[in-house]
Amino acid sequence: MKKYNKVTPEGTKDLLFEECLVRRNVEKTLKDVFSCRGFNEVVTPGLEFYDVFDPNFSGIGQEVMYKMSDHRGRLIVMRPDSTMPIARLAATRLQGLPKPIRLFYTQPIYRSNPALTGRSDETVQTGIELLGADGMRADLEVIVTAIEALGKCVPDFRFELGHAGLFRALAEQLPITDDQREDIRSAIESKNYAALNGILDGLEESKQVTAMRTLPRLFGGEEVFARAEEFCSDEKSGGMLEYLHELYRSLSGRGLDDKMIVDLGLVQRNDYYTNIVFSAYVENCGDAVLLGGRYDRLLGYFDFPMPAIGFAMNVDAISKIMLERGKNCTVLPADVLVHGEAGFEMEALDYASTLIEKGLKCENSIFDTKEEAMGYAKTRGIRRFDCVGNRIQTINLT
């Protein structure tokens, strides 16, 4: 039998020095943004019961989940999403907290992508969840936080704003099954006009059918709202469009016009999104680096109903972009190599500790001879060599 002890599973990878450094810098940068806005960190288990992610509610297909059973035979999965476990956490551990509840996380999710070459099955995400708050103020706070956080890492992004409820409001007016609705949503999301028309051609022409044909083409700036008004004439869809327009005007006032796009074809696959949805893209990165939206019904699934909104950022994708651009990716050698002569090994370790307390990056020599230690220091680019014996000798290796 072939052994796989020298490779990683498909969809995973090892990270080396610069990659680790960049990822940690991204995580710290985003953590600082979230913490400064009053969000508190939580961590959920990497293993959850399958029921937490019931596909009938979560919109996460069971085929993408890594599944196994516990010692009692209960079905568990490796966490494929962070929002639903946080909703479970809030419903069971945070019921007594005053609202709103501000939470953030940094943790990996696991999804199987066998047909999508190049995508990772293990992805580190960081994001925020604002629980127990609705309305314009809450939506603006979360979106502005998303824009600020992403801008700290990659300032040249494109931000897309849409409304998940708008598609549902229009789809409710069509004589279609749930499966057909999902097929239409998938075609709109991918902007697959051929597939979309193939489905809609089987329906009798109507204003709603025309709206569905047009929806994936309704993206751009201020002009999108005028174009969409003719399809959103009923009270429900009209109210959604007006709310989105007001949100867009508020954000545009912050000088974001050149970064922000309205996309009424932005229909997230996750069924728990109920209202506004948004995403962000960076050039030369095919997938969104940020996804978010409002999910006012999700907490009710865990018997703790309240409005909520949040977003998740792909730390791995952002780190890769920064690494390719040569930002914050230099792994520096130690400032000092400390070598202890025979019989002075502990003294050398103590001396190294004093240098570290002074703020120096310090390596301890594990070589038997001074010559071997100096040769190593030169190879590693360490410019200072301190030898500890009856006295301390400092040698500059520049």
CATH code, domain with 180: 3.30.930.10
Q: Are residues 145 and 294 in the same domain?
A: yes
Last-in-domain residue among 309, 331, 353: 331
Q: Are residues 2 and 126 in the same domain?
A: yes
Q: Are residues 148 and 22 in the same domain?
A: yes
Answer left, alpha or beta for residue 136, where phi above 0 means left and psi between -120 and 50 means alpha.
alpha
Q: Are residues 125 and 49 in the same domain?
A: yes
Could you read off the pLDDT of 78-102 as tens digits, one per residue? 999 999 999 999 999 999 999 999 9
Question: What is the identity of the amino acid at 154?
Answer: V
Q: Are residues 32 and 91 in the same domain?
A: yes
- Could you tell me whether strands 47-49 and 75-78 are parallel, antiparallel, or unpaired per DSSP bridges? antiparallel
pLDDT of residue 392: 93
Q: Which domain holds residue 252?
A: 157-277
State which residues of the chain have pLDDT below 70: 1, 115-118, 255, 257, 268-271, 328-329
Q: Are residues 248 and 294 in the same domain?
A: no
Q: Are residues 110 and 240 in the same domain?
A: no
* Residue 366: DSSP 8-state: -
Last-in-domain residue among 291, 315, 331: 331
Q: Are residues 253 and 305 in the same domain?
A: no
Q: Residue 245 in 3-state DSSP?
A: helix
Read off the pTM.
0.87
Could you read off the pLDDT of 194-243 as tens digits, one per residue? 888 888 887 778 787 888 888 878 888 888 888 888 878 788 888 888 99
Q: Are residues 299 and 343 in the same domain?
A: no
Answer left, alpha or beta for residue 213, where phi above 0 means left and psi between -120 and 50 means alpha.
alpha
Reading the block at residue 6, the tokens are 């020298």
pLDDT of residue 233: 78
CATH code, domain with 388: 3.40.50.800
pLDDT of residue 117: 58
HEC assignment per residue over 184-227: HHHHHHCCCHHHHHHHHCCCCCCHHHHHHHHHHHCEECCHHHHH
pLDDT of residue 1: 65
Reading the block at residue 44, the tokens are 């959920």
Q: Are residues 372 and 387 in the same domain?
A: yes
Asked if 29 and 312 count as a contact pair (C-beta separation under 8 A), the reply is no
Give the position of tokens 């060599």: 385
pLDDT of residue 7: 82
Neighbours of 379 (CB within 10 A): 9
Q: Are residues 14 and 82 in the same domain?
A: yes
Domain count, the chain: 3
Distance of CA 342 to the CA centre of its chain: 51
* Residue 383: DSSP 8-state: -
Asked if 165 and 244 count as a contact pair (C-beta separation under 8 A), the reply is no
- Could you tell me whether strands 362-364 and 336-340 are parallel, antiparallel, or unpaired per DSSP bridges? parallel
Q: 293 to each of 79, 157, 266, 278, how far by Cα in Å?
A: 20, 18, 11, 6
pLDDT of residue 374: 93
Q: Are residues 319 and 343 in the same domain?
A: no
State how far the Cα of 122 lies from the Cα of 125, in Å rounded to an integer: 10
